[in-house]
């Protein structure tokens, strides 16, 4: 992209066409570039830096709970994938197959991992013998491949980056505890760092992971009222252990099957950041996850002392632990402002000759555009206060948006009306019969997002069939 | 592996069988587990933690030179791989081919990246238009696949982890400068952090990277006298730019081809750490790269106050920035010592009732087994001093070993005698004729490792053919 095109006007407004707005933001903020491999994306420096911040934050939260990182092969022999019946049925239709290695055809096809349960199980069966070897809490950061027909940057692509944790425990209770623990790690991270409030709940039988006993999920609401499944945590019970023969001798020297979990969060979450916080000027990054938190923009930078003052300020702020840069390019200030806005940098710090004379700088918030004049001598404290205010305002705004787009339906007519006319979550009671779930999907395209941990009883009967209700469910159209 | 087997006796001595010693260390230190996919390894927590330390150190050194991280797809369409003739000839025989996606055969085969020059070129041609877009210095951390017949953990495996940097520049000079700069980053990192001294030099035409103008390398000498190529940096000139059409308009608005480099370092370097520093008790990790620098071993831990004192000491040392752990398992101290030794933890810190009473601890160095009694009140300073001494001693020892295993040959008889009887590097003059290089390899199995940057003239004639010599070359048997 040349430097001579107008940047801001190139973004379609989200009210006009939300899908196009998303694509524009992803491209103009230089997060992603399409590659010549259909369905695969190139993650550019601006996008990858966000992923690095996510990795750093999540990885240290994982390690605090005793998780260790490993690396497993990217290939799975066909026979290994087939060991757990439900699992292979869920994944085989969407994997890529390697059939030739070097110049020779392979005697057994290898699939490129769509997820690594089977590899971890094969590994765990070899290294676990005794109760002393438990628990094992391993995780890997890697890419996986799923052969998707329709793809969108971050939201759905043939190859994506993620982490997948796989744990083994002595008891069913330990496995359940770990499953919920990791879901909470995800939810806390999303709220505290990404400023995205999450609904925590359990997936229905229909929506659970292939091979799992129970799948827990965090669900977020995007600006257009669609839901995004943002992370999942699965309790496998002893199903995989029985399929793969993962057994240990307990303290009484008796052979027992082990219990397992897995949990994953992917680059998809970057799509959530864009669609929860972005606006018609581009990306808006929460300060805690922004690779660059502040862009210093010198005003009239040709004047003596301005650039020096800008770089001196940068040094001070870097030393205080802020992630800041200075834009000393030969572009106009207006141009620099537009670029900072498109890229979602939380604040810009304007510094011109008059500011320097007055011993001040002007901090402009990306989300509200508030201009705050602060004394240079106290800029560290002021910047900290502004960023932290912005972080909590963004969470609050996202929460308000979600709550004001969460509806309750007590009759099927009401349910269909809301889905058709009011984008958002619909809370409604359900009888737990899969027939109703399928009917709702067919009639409205809405799917069950989760049975929230915080159950309420808003009616006695299923919103679809009128039989006695068993669960409150969040429903919605989803990415 | 059960806890009841003897750990130390399971390691073959390196004098007896170096290859078996290597395999034993890799397994007993729990760095790697073989997987059910032939030639692919599982990197276990102890191994992966070393790679994480390497990544952290190298990544920050890269970023200091202006490098940004990205992520490229793992698949390369066959037509893209074929765009640069030398490159495809070098790699096509050793790649894995994906021929089916989901339930359908692909119209074009995709190879799993063996390296990503072609993908980066395809990307760069789209995003580079003007001299203002240059340089571009991108890097990615990922895994790559090369269909190798004989594999060994870390040293040669079908899939391995690495980083690959790919840069684009306006001029040939800028590209050459970046190529050498990154080689120096590698060499400095290896010496300062891994305590492995490197010979820096240029590869011969025969040994250079497929598609490169020039390949620079760092070469290390292993304990058995074999060489290990530890990192390479390639100058591509404008060859790839011409094949892929990477052009920019210069300040005079004229269209120019760009100049490129690439450089990579892989998990192979973990093999170098093992084979340079290890001994017959197992791994020995340099303190600067050790994931755990010190293991606190409580003595008579059942006695009152011992475990409390051990954990208090751990807290103090963690707070001071050391990476330490406490082994409070129910194993015997002797067992814990053996484990610390096998895993290569730089020091153990013994703390028993008598030590506590005397206000001291005993620090035992892994490399020399020196026992140093230090007062608890000054333990931070003492530990820092001991680790830093150990780090420099390890580099010095490795340098001495290398220098005492580096020989000079002035005649072909002498050359053959050294290669046959004295493991190590051989410095010898060469006429630059590939015939001689091929003959030497055929006669002795030794290969040219590099033409060192620090050229000397130890004779006037080629060690092989006797014609006038042009270059001093390091030769050796290599992994």
pLDDT tens digits for A189-208?
Answer: 999 999 999 999 999 999 99
Give CA–CA dist B205/A129, Å, rounded: 52
Dist CA A117 CA A97 (whole Å): 17
Q: B91 to chain A: which residues are within 8 Å by CB?
A: none
The crossing angle, in degrees rounded to 10, of helices A45-64 and A172-192 is 140
B335 touches chain A (CB under 8 A): no
Using CB atoms, which residue from B3, B71, B123 is nearest to A48?
A: B71
Three-state SS at B280: coil
The mean pLDDT of chain A is 96
Q: Respond yes or no on whether the N-terminal peptide bond of residue A135 is cis (omega within 30° of 0).
A: yes
Chain B residues touching A99 at Cβ < 8 A = 97-100
At residue B8, the pLDDT reads 52
Q: In DSSP terms, which residues pair with A234 in a beta bridge?
A: A215, A262
- Closest-CA distance, A119 to chain B, in angstroms, reads 8
Residue whose structure tokens are 């010898």: B428
Interface of A with B in 120-159 (CB under 8 A): 122-123, 126-127, 129-130, 132, 138, 142-143, 145, 147, 158-159
Q: Which residues on A lie below 8 Å from B143 (Cβ)?
A: 71, 74, 142
Q: Rounded to whole angstroms, what are the CA distances from A324 to A311, A318, A329?
A: 10, 6, 15
Quick: pLDDT tens for B367-408. Answer: 999 999 999 999 999 999 999 999 999 999 999 999 999 999
Choose among A36, A126, A129: nearest Cβ to B80.
A36
Question: B80 to chain A, minimum CA–CA distance in Å?
Answer: 9
Among B152, B83, B63, residue whose Cα is nearest residue B124: B83
Residues of A in contact with B72 (CB under 8 A): 35, 42
Find the mean pLDDT for residues B38-63.
97
**What's the gap in Å between the CA of B151 and the closest CA on chain A?**
14
User: pLDDT of B243-284, one tens digit each?
Assistant: 999 999 999 999 999 999 999 999 999 999 999 999 999 999
Chain A residues within 8 A of B147 when measuring between CB atoms: 101-102
**Beta carbons of A36 and B100 less than 8 Å apart:** no
* Spatial separation of the C-alpha atoms in residues B267 and B283, rounded to whole Å: 16
The string of pLDDT tens digits covering residues B126-135 is: 999 999 999 9
Per-residue pLDDT of B85-101, as tens digits, reads 888 888 888 999 999 99
pLDDT band at A6; cut points 50, 70, 90: low
Coil, helix or strand at residue A367: coil
Of A51, A79, A89, A100, which to mutate for an interface test with B (greatest number of B Cβ within 10 Å)?
A100
State what percent of residues in chain B have pLDDT above 70: 98
The Cα A263–Cα A236 span in angstroms is: 11
Cα of A91 to nearest chain B Cα, Å: 9
- What tens digit of pLDDT does each residue of A9-53 get? 689 999 999 999 999 999 999 999 998 888 899 999 999 999 999
Name which of A3, A96, A161 is nearest B71 (Cβ-Cβ). Answer: A161
Residues B290 and B273: their CA atoms lie apart, in Å, by: 11
Residue B37 to residue A102, Cβ atoms within 8 A: no
Give the model's confidence band at B470: pLDDT under 50 very low, under 70 low, under 90 confident, else very high.
Answer: very high
Residue A450 has phi, psi (to 5 degrees) of -170, 165
Q: Which of B1, B55, B101, B138 is the best residue to mutate to test the A interface, defined by the most A CB atoms within 10 Å of its own CB?
A: B101
Beta-carbon separation of B138 and A45 below 8 A = yes
**H/E element, B427:** strand B425-430
Q: Kindly list the distances between the CA atom of residue B213 and the CA atoms of B86, B240, B448, in Å, as whole numbers in the listed order.
A: 11, 10, 17
pLDDT band at B4 (very low <50, low <70, confident <90, very high): very low
In order of A159, A246, B28, B40, B138, the CA distances from A133 in angstroms are 34, 12, 16, 24, 41
For residue A9, what pLDDT is reported? 61
Max Cα-Cα span within chain A: 81
Asked whether the beta carbons of B272 and B224 are under 8 A apart, the reply is no
Question: What pLDDT, on a 0 to 100 scale, did the predictor assign at position A3?
Answer: 42
**A70/B44 CB distance under 8 A:** yes
> What pLDDT was estimated at residue B2?
39
Least Cα distance to B327 among B319, B341, A129, B48 occurs for B341
Residue showing tokens 């066409």: A17
pLDDT at A2 over 60: no
Cα separation, B477 vs B344, in Å, equals 27
Query: What confidence score (pLDDT) does residue A4 get?
Result: 40
Cα–Cα distance measured from residue B119 to residue A59, given in angstroms and rounded to the nearest whole number: 29
- Cβ contact B143–A74 (<8 Å): yes
Residue A86 CA to residue A109 CA, distance in Å, equals 20
Which residues of chain B are within 8 Å of residue A68 when distances are taken between CB atoms? 45, 48-49
For residue A443, pLDDT over 60 is answered with yes
CA distances from A52 to A72, B68, B311 (A): 20, 11, 33
Confidence of residue A5 (pLDDT cuts 50, 70, 90): very low
Q: How far is the C-alpha of A423 from the C-alpha of A222, rounded, in Å? A: 10
Scan for tokens 């197959």, then name that residue: A97
Give yes or no for residue A234 having a pLDDT over 60: yes
pLDDT tens digits, one per residue of B185-218: 999 999 999 999 999 999 999 999 989 999 999 9
Report CB contact under 8 Å: A42, B103.
Answer: no
Q: Give me Rg for the CA atoms of chain B.
A: 25
Chain B residues with CB-CB distance to A127 below 8 A: 1, 33
For tokens 């019969």, name the residue.
A433
Cβ-defined contact of B102 to A143 (cutoff 8 Å): no
Helices (H) and strands (E) in chain A, counts: 14, 23
User: For residue A50, how far is the Cα from the chain centroid?
Assistant: 11
Confidence of residue A467 (pLDDT cuts 50, 70, 90): very high
Q: What is the pLDDT of residue B377?
A: 97
**Looking at residue A473, what is its pLDDT?**
98
How far is Cα A220 from Cα A218, in angstroms, rounded to an integer? 7
Handedness of CA A174, A176, A179, A181 (dihedral sign): negative
Alpha-carbon gap, residue A141 to B51, rounded angstroms: 13
pLDDT bin (cut points 50, 70, 90) of residue B36 is: confident
Is the CB of residue B77 less than 8 Å away from at least one CB of chain A? yes
Stretch A54-67: mean pLDDT: 98
Quote the pLDDT of residue B1: 35
The strand pair at B136-145 and B68-69 is best described as: parallel
Tens of pLDDT, residue by residue over A256-269, are 999 999 999 999 99
Residue A143 has pLDDT above 90, yes or no: yes
Distances (CA, A) of A302 to A305, A332, B164, B246: 9, 11, 39, 34
């Amino acid at each position: 992209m040349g430097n001579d095109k107008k940047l801001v006007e190139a973004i379609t407004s989200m009210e006009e066409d939300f899908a196009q707005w998303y694509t524009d933001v992803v491209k103009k903020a230089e997060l992603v570039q399409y590659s010549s491999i259909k369905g695969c994306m190139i993650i550019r420096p601006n996008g990858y830096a966000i992923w690095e911040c996510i990795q750093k934050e999540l990885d240290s939260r994982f390690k605090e709970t005793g998780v260790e990182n490993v690396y497993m092969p990217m290939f799975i022999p066909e026979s290994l994938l087939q060991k757990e019946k439900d699992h292979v049925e869920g994944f085989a239709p969407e994997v890529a197959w390697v059939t030739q290695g070097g110049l020779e055809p392979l005697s057994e096809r290898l699939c490129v991992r769509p997820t690594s349960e089977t590899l971890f199980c094969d590994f765990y069966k070899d290294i676990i013998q005794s109760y002393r070897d438990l628990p094992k809490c391993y995780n890997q950061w890697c890419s996986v491949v799923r052969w998707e027909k329709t793809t969108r940057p971050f939201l759905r692509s043939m190859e994506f980056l993620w982490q997948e944790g796989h744990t083994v425990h002595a008891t069913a209770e330990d496995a359940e505890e770990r499953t919920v623990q990791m879901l909470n790690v995800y939810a806390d991270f999303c709220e505290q760092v990404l400023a995205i409030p999450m609904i925590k709940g359990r997936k229905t039988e229909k929506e659970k992971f292939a091979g799992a006993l129970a799948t827990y999920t965090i669900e977020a609401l995007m600006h257009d009222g669609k839901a995004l499944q943002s992370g999942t945590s699965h309790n496998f019970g002893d199903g995989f252990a029985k399929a793969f023969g993962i057994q240990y001798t307990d303290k009484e020297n008796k052979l027992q099957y082990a219990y397992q979990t897995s949990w994953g969060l992917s680059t998809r979450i970057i799509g959530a950041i864009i669609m929860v916080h972005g606006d018609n000027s581009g990306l808006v990054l929460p300060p805690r996850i922004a690779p660059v938190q502040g862009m210093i923009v010198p005003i009239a930078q040709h004047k003596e002392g301005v650039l020096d003052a800008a770089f001196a300020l940068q040094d001070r702020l870097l030393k205080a632990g802020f992630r800041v840069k200075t834009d000393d390019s030969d572009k106009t200030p207006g141009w620099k402002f537009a670029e900072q806005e498109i890229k979602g940098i939380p604040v810009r710090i304007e510094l011109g000759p008059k500011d320097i004379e007055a011993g001040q700088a002007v901090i402009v918030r990306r989300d509200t555009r508030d201009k705050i004049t602060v004394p240079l001598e106290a800029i560290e404290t002021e910047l900290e206060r502004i960023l932290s205010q912005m972080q909590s305002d963004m969470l609050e705004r996202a929460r308000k948006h979600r709550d004001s787009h969460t509806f309750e339906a007590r009759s099927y007519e009401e349910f269909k009306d809301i889905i058709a006319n009011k984008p958002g979550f619909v809370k409604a009671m359900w009888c737990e019969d899969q027939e109703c779930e399928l009917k709702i999907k067919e009639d409205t395209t809405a799917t069950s997002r989760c049975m929230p941990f915080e159950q309420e009883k808003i009616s006695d009967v299923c919103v679809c069939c009128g039989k006695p209700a068993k669960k409150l469910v969040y429903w919605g159209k989803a990415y």
